[in-house]
Chain A
């Protein structure tokens, strides 16, 4: 177990190193920081002095090592716009994004597993055909269109749900949550459904194909021959084997969802990191963009590592301790 952890952390460090190279390249080449900091009236000579003072004329390696040594200490520079450390700005907005992703994940789990399992058990039923057709359409509609349609129908025409923002939140142990107030929950519904709509068709199909494979396996045939009830075979023997690959893919996709809340958050004016990122790009807030890229990379690496560890816990045949069986 320990060896495995050390290995994984080492791999994670390599990945983070590569991401930092990319992020730094963005920071180094995207726009001129001087233009954001000084006015039109500053002369070219003064600019050069300022550049030297800021170390912008140093060789690439020197600049990168300065950047990485700050980054390791949790300092990714100050946001030009907020005049605060970029990390702090992102952490402030993270709560909102995580709540959005949590809501979407719950919807995905609650919808995709029953639908996927149903369509695997009854491959010829009319409902299965409907589910499959729906998932094909779902895959091909972009998320901003889903979001706008939902907003138009439920917020504007029917006026059942609010169309933007987080609504009322409650502070629980320093975490601003929207899950504990009625208003907050109402505000969560549409954004969560929109975000879930990207992944939902994928997961329905994944669950269905894995379930079909489990159902055609020898152990399911043997379980039938043992005289077990069909429900027990479906929901215990087959489902547990179905969930293993779904868990692997699911873990990675949660990372993706955190990273790609940009569209959903923009449409619903959701005060999360995705919305923040889009604003940062509009304002050429380079430190914030760099910090966001590194932050998203970190989320991917962390979720992947956790999924690998969990997989070892759930699947007895995977031996992450490295000892022979």
Chain B
């Protein structure tokens, strides 16, 4: 008999506008020592399933039908007190963001001990020994010292280890991990997944791993359940589903995953997921977008970054010798040729976004020079002189939810830079340009009268791109443009960027922590770590024969998507 048995589960969210079924008739099972992945995109209902199993649905969510059995015992519909005995003791839960799931005002020891005492009947000294032992098991060095510390004294990866230790503290039979590595860097992701995998085998517990990352699914799980808009579309052995997906959605999802093993021209088969209008073909040569007013004769790279260093003050002092700094960029040099896509890759805190801000002039560098078409940007003092360069460099930001003014209509968001830089002769010309841009990024001109909140994340990123194009830029800086998006939407956005680049001969600086994405998009790639640029190499060269030890390390950690080779 399986450890967890979910049958015909239906979860509903009643509201004034009717009942929304987040999960419709879901059945699956998990055995001991087995990791089952629940995969799907945002809104698929995958997190809801995990929350429903331990009765932590956020109101007004309710289990409308179906049953959940743990070890043959029914655990759906228990009273609060009965459910409390299941939580922690039978089922351990790991949340997505280790930064917020630990209470900032209690030491790690207090949070571990209260969990042990709540679930096991042991003495205080036994509990302490157990807590230290758990810290050891999850790979935290010097557990006796670190256990006395507060959560903010741990890094993100270490905090997630603490969360796992707490989840294991009550000796559960089943672990539900809700996106346990989404908030973490790739090297830490690998460590945490290996840890979960080993603990499941050692302790013979079952694990339900909720994730949106197909790479994680293919690396760690034994079985996988694919969810789409509240429905279970496929459930079975991971290898089988990845290599021979039966459902159209699964196929579409798999094809949208950026491949780490070779570069493709475009992502195929991604139209299933989000409705987008067909791109309107434009006669670029005669259109406003294709006419750049000042074409200078300049040979050489479009952008040149020379020995740029930037440091931030971490501890200010009246005396210069006593000030402390963090070196955000150290001697970074690279150049980008016209029409090229240059990738910057590195883990969080490696200084890749800072470089983008230095290039656009948001941070003045402490040392070094940035030249655009041979003109030294760091020598420009006045904002007025900088303006033409600002126009030629545009940014697409990571989070499409916060990078647009929520009180402005889309039309005005896109028209604003055109008006500001006085790029159009008349209001009717502006209108024509905005409509063409909206058509061109696949939103349709009717989108102009709406507000940002009426769009999904992927659509908003299209708006951001349209806004960036509205100044007819030469250089487009994309700072993690797809990391807040679902994989299928990511594939569409990357396709769009690629099309636009081909048409407009755009030069792109593409910043990402995601190696497979970088591989699909970039011609040349720079690898950054702790503010330094370690290696610049041709894209294919970097992935096949990385030079620097750190690049090799990063590439070896890349989740490999095994099933894919057979399927396409």
Contact = CB atoms under 8 A, between A and B. Distances in A.
Interface of A: 217-219, 221-230, 232, 236-237, 240-241, 244, 314-317, 322-325
B88 A315 contact: no
B97 A218 contact: yes
B515 to A, nearest CB: 29
Contacts of B80: 230
Contacts of B166: 222, 226
21 contacts: A219-B103, A221-B101, A222-B163, A224-B56, A224-B87, A225-B54, A225-B91, A225-B95, A227-B84, A227-B119, A227-B170, A228-B84, A228-B114, A228-B118, A236-B114, A237-B106, A240-B103, A241-B103, A244-B105, A317-B150, A325-B153
Contacts of A237: 103, 106
Contacts of A224: 56, 87
Contacts of A217: 100
Given A218-B101, A221-B95, A226 B153 contact: no
B32 to A, nearest CB: 20
A225 B87 contact: yes
B89 interface: yes
B315 interface: yes
B152 A225 contact: no
Contacts of A226: 87-88, 93, 114-115, 118-119, 166-167, 169-170
Contact of B56 (A221, A228, A314, A323): A221
Most chain B CB inside 10 Å of its own CB: which residue of A222, A229, A244, A315: A222
B105 A316 contact: yes
A225 B114 contact: no
A310 to B, nearest CB: 14
Nearest to B326: A324
B104 interface: yes
B26 interface: no
A221 B101 CA distance: 8
A238 to B, nearest CB: 9
Given A226-B119, A227-B86, A240-B106, 19 more contacts: A217-B100, A218-B101, A221-B56, A222-B166, A224-B56, A226-B115, A226-B170, A227-B85, A227-B170, A228-B88, A228-B115, A228-B118, A229-B118, A240-B105, A241-B104, A315-B104, A316-B105, A317-B150, A324-B314
Please provide the 7 A-B residue pairs with the shortest distance between their CB atoms, ordered closest to farther.
Answer: A227-B88, A225-B93, A218-B100, A227-B87, A222-B101, A219-B103, A316-B150
A218 B95 contact: yes
B22 interface: no
A226 B315 CA distance: 38
Contacts of B105: 240-241, 244, 314-316
A37 to B, nearest CB: 49
A223 B106 CA distance: 12
A226 B91 CA distance: 9
Interface string B144-166: 00000010110000000001001
B106 A222 contact: no
B82 to A, nearest CB: 11
A223 B152 contact: no
A222 B102 contact: yes
Contact of B102 (A219, A227, A232, A244): A219
A241 B166 CA distance: 20
B152 A316 contact: yes
A280 to B, nearest CB: 43
Interface of B: 54, 56, 80, 84-89, 91-93, 95, 97, 100-106, 114-115, 118-119, 150, 152-153, 163, 166-167, 169-170, 314-315, 324
A316 B167 CA distance: 24
Nearest to A240: B105
A317 B150 CA distance: 8
A324 B118 CA distance: 35
Contacts of A240: 103, 105-106
Contacts of A222: 93, 95, 101-102, 163, 166
Given A217-B100, A219-B102, A222-B93, A229 B163 contact: no
Contacts of B153: 325
A240 B111 CA distance: 14
B192 to A, nearest CB: 16
A61 to B, nearest CB: 30
Most chain A CB inside 10 Å of its own CB: which residue of B97, B102, B105: B105
B56 A227 contact: no
A28 B498 CA distance: 74
Contacts of B91: 225
Given A316-B152, A317-B150, A225 B56 contact: yes
Nearest to B115: A226
A324 B170 contact: no
Contact of A317 (B152, B170, B314): B152
Nearest to A225: B93
Given A227-B118, A228-B115, A322 B315 contact: yes
A123 to B, nearest CB: 10
Contacts of B92: 225
A218 B54 CA distance: 15
Contacts of B170: 226-227
B114 A232 contact: yes
Contacts of A232: 114, 118
A241 B163 CA distance: 19
Contacts of B103: 219, 223, 237, 240-241
Contacts of B119: 226-227
Given A221-B56, A316-B152, A317-B150, A229 B101 contact: no
A79 to B, nearest CB: 43
A221 B95 CA distance: 9
Nearest to A237: B103
Contacts of B169: 226
B118 to A, nearest CB: 5
A77 to B, nearest CB: 37
A251 to B, nearest CB: 18
A241 B150 CA distance: 14
B460 to A, nearest CB: 25
Contacts of B101: 218-219, 221-222
Nearest to B50: A225
Most chain A CB inside 10 Å of its own CB: which residue of B89, B91, B100, B169: B100
Nearest to A228: B118
Given A316-B150, A324-B314, A325-B152, A225 B88 contact: yes
Contacts of B324: 324
A324 B115 contact: no
A217 B92 CA distance: 18
A230 B169 CA distance: 18
A302 B95 CA distance: 43
B89 A324 contact: no
A227 B89 contact: yes
Contacts of A223: 103
A316 B153 CA distance: 10
Nearest to B169: A226
A240 B91 CA distance: 27
A150 B115 CA distance: 49
Contacts of B150: 316-317
A214 to B, nearest CB: 9
Most chain B CB inside 10 Å of its own CB: which residue of A218, A240, A323: A218
A243 B277 CA distance: 52
Contacts of A317: 104, 150, 152
A230 B80 CA distance: 9
A185 B93 CA distance: 53
Contacts of A236: 106, 114
Most chain B CB inside 10 Å of its own CB: which residue of A227, A241, A244, A314: A227
